[in-house]
Structure 1
Amino acid sequence: MASGIICSSFNVEGTNSMNATIFGPTSWLGASQLKLPININANIDELERTECILFPRDKIESISERNPLTYKWLYYSSSKSNICWIKSQHASLFDKYTRVAFCLSEISTQLPTIVGCNKTIKLSQKSLSNITGISRPRLNEVLKMLEEKGLISLNRESVTILNEPRLKQELHDVEPILAIE
């Protein structure tokens, strides 16, 4: 990805688990599945306007045949996205509060930092519900709790992160796996 933020998710109607990952600029998708005959239905939601660079499979394979180090490069390139998947799957094992805090924190880290300004995530409750796998009423409870703690501010179709360091502190139970970077 050259720019933007997307959420890639796998979900089945009626489930209440988080099976979504946030990707941002410099993320590589698909490199580790180049030779695998895998066909999975994934939802990709654009959270911020996104630009992607497509490397056609046949061209990558042609380059790889001439220069085997290309496989090493592809492996390295996919490492970041693999870590994102591991982190999000680990977070899915926790309660709804932790899952929402993790999701907001992950999206926030993909946004540019402007000194003295809070980060605003343009995201509907429906989208956040899909990403976290939490029903909208339960999600609303968690968002209100985060707002009461002074960590976020809720606006129509957006969430403003008021205290990013404290939001990350809310993830203390998930912290060991989040240290992988």
Structure 2
Amino acid sequence: MTSTRSSNTLLQDIPPQLLNYFEEEDFKTTTLEKVKLTTGFFNFSGLIYLKKGRFSFSLPQRNLDTLYSFIVEQNGWFGGLTLMQLPHPFLLINEIEPVELLYIPKDRLTKIADAHPLIYKWLLNIAAHNIPQWLQVPIIALSNKNIRVLYCLATLLPLNKRDSSLIEIDASQQKISDICGLSRPRVNQVLKKLEQQELIKVQHKKIIIQSTTALFKLLDEANLCFYDPRE
């Protein structure tokens, strides 16, 4: 494992008042498997910084089906409300791309925050940053299958290439099914329709976006009042 001290991306989001403290701490980057955040159910309680890759969280229903997922992007933080007296539900975790992350368990984070109360404010800022996407999740979950798949594709596009054409997404139909909370046959129906419109090409564990402009246009009918992945 490599030290997070070498990660400028990690440190740039931390308030200057806390920078020295975080540099002195022996935080290490790790993987989902090593912190037991493997694909499956996890009673989440802690803070995550995603250094590389992407993965999703979802709240399963009683029948273990998912409605829709919250995607954690590279360089993103998750768990800003972990120190608040809130229920910590079981989450279904799905690794979209191989990840490297920083994970700070709640007990350790509590000690750090008690010693440096400004961290509580910083954690609330992390939560505030994630709230729009969280609020958007149930709206998309109630949308039709076309909107759910389109929203998923838009979210999976690399952030720095959303204005380009011929963008390759490393995601199988099963991954999209897991994120959308739809069966593979229903996902396949939508993807085939988009392929017939020459907007995408479906390959083995990959999807090629041929026109982001046309694809994004189809999301105009979606209710994206809290979070718009096209922006």
TM-score range, shorter chain: 0.7 to 0.9
Match of 1:98 among 147, 156, 162: 147
TM-score relative to the length of structure 2 = 0.68
TM-score relative to the length of structure 1 = 0.85
Which residue number in structure 2 is paired with residue 70 of structure 1?
119
Residue 41, structure 1, aligned to residue 64, structure 2: no
**What does residue range 158-169 of structure 1 map to in structure 2 within 5 Å?**
158-169=206-217
* Count of residue correspondences: 179
Cα pair distance change 1:10/1:176, threshold 3 Å? closer
Residue 137, structure 1, aligned to residue 172, structure 2: no
- Tell which has more relative contact order, 1 or 2 (C-alpha 8 A, sep 6+): 1
SS of 1:169 mapped into structure 2? helix
Q: 5+ unaligned residues in a row in structure 1: which ranges?
A: none
Which residue number in structure 2 is paired with residue 178 of structure 1?
227
CA RMSD of aligned residues (A): 2.5
Structure with bigger gyration radius: 2
Report the residue type matching 1:149 in the other structure. Answer: Q
More strand by share: 2
Conserved? CA contact 1:8–1:21, under 8 Å: yes
Cα pair distance change 1:168/1:93, threshold 3 Å? same
**What does residue range 110-129 of structure 1 map to in structure 2 within 5 Å?**
110=159, 112-113=160-161, 118-129=166-177
The sequence identity of aligned pairs, in percent, is 27
Shift of 1:20: 0.9
Which residue number in structure 1 is paired with residue 31 of structure 2?
none
Match of 2:137 among 70, 88, 112: 88
Equivalent-residue separation in structure 1 for 2:82 and 2:51 (angstroms): 20
Shift of 1:61: 1.8
Report the residue type matching 1:119 in the other structure. Answer: I
**What does residue range 142-153 of structure 1 map to in structure 2 within 5 Å?**
142-153=190-201
Q: 5+ unaligned residues in a row in structure 2: which ranges?
A: 1-49
Cα pair distance change 1:94/1:117, threshold 3 Å? closer
Equivalent-residue separation in structure 2 for 1:122 and 1:160 (angstroms): 9
Which residue number in structure 1 is paired with residue 202 of structure 2?
154
